[in-house]
Amino acid sequence: MKLENIQTLLASVLSDEEIFIKEPMKNRTSFKVGGPADVLVMPDTPKKFSDVIGLLQKKDVPYYIMGNGTNLLVGDKGYRGVIVNTRNMKRIERDGCELIAEAGALYKDVAQAAQENSLQGLEFASGIPGSIGGAAVMNAGAYDGETKNVLKWMEVLTENNTVLRLPVEECKMGYRHSIVQENPWYVLRVCFDLEKGDPEAIQAKMDRLNQQRRDKQPLEYPSAGSTFRRPKGYYAGKLIEDAGFRGYRHGGAQVSEKHCGFVINADQATAQDIRELIAVIQNKIKKDVGVEMRTEVISIGE
């Protein structure tokens, strides 16, 4: 389908302000790299999101769903098709000790909303930069917490364009895994089941964890957080350091000297620089130790 026809198709359910043509993805991802997407759309309600997906599927238009772009690497030539960005689906509602958040809400904003409502349980998430949708899909966690420990249910859009509410017991939550990864589904909303707490104590714990994050992670550079998943029985950063990669540069990409688990955009890196550096690390560790280094970073585009 021609680009102008895709634009006309999307305009039937979205406003002009929700449609971006030839949008540079370096402006939408935490790595700060990536060429233009043919079209980027930002529906602001789950209903519009559902309508967009239905149209794209009906017309067989390639598409990709993204949240805050904090674990996404887009190729230097961009993405041929439509990127659906959920960031404008960001409403957060309270119902007693429950917080219900749309997929595009930032995890740190939901954690802050919990603190402001004297609800504890999400302190671990206060420094996670990604969106709620991505956090649910990946069972995001940090320090002493995981999403599954506070999740009550998630609502997903199924392959039949219907909404399904799954209690946490049916979500198959594990290390960086959920049932959504096993199906062509998309998260619309999640519900967190929290406990009453002291807002000052909650804020103090959030501050402490965020200081630990600043002390240990290279937050001053563009990156996608932890580049690799934790291999069973190992720590990714330790494997990378032991392989001699601390501070290793490839073009503008670099293994962080502060934390070897992070590949950073040190100096105007390209997506190709980052992809090639990741491959160098994977190949050496596979050869030397026999360990497969799977990425947390998702790579799309050309």
Active site residues: 176, 226, 296
Residues 239, 293 contacting (CB under 8 angstroms): yes
Strand partners, 119: 196
- Rounded Cα distance, 49 and 287, in Å: 44
* 243, 257 contact by CB (below 8 A): no
Q: How many angstroms separate the CA atoms of 219 and 182, rounded? A: 32
Q: What is the DSSP letter of 51?
A: H
E strand residue ranges, 116-270:
119-120, 141-142, 145-146, 151-157, 163-167, 186-193, 195-196, 249-250, 253-255, 263-265
Q: What is the dihedral of CA 194, 137, 26, 52, to 10 degrees?
A: -100
What is the spatial distance between Cα 155 and Cα 101, in angstroms, rounded to a whole number?
Answer: 10
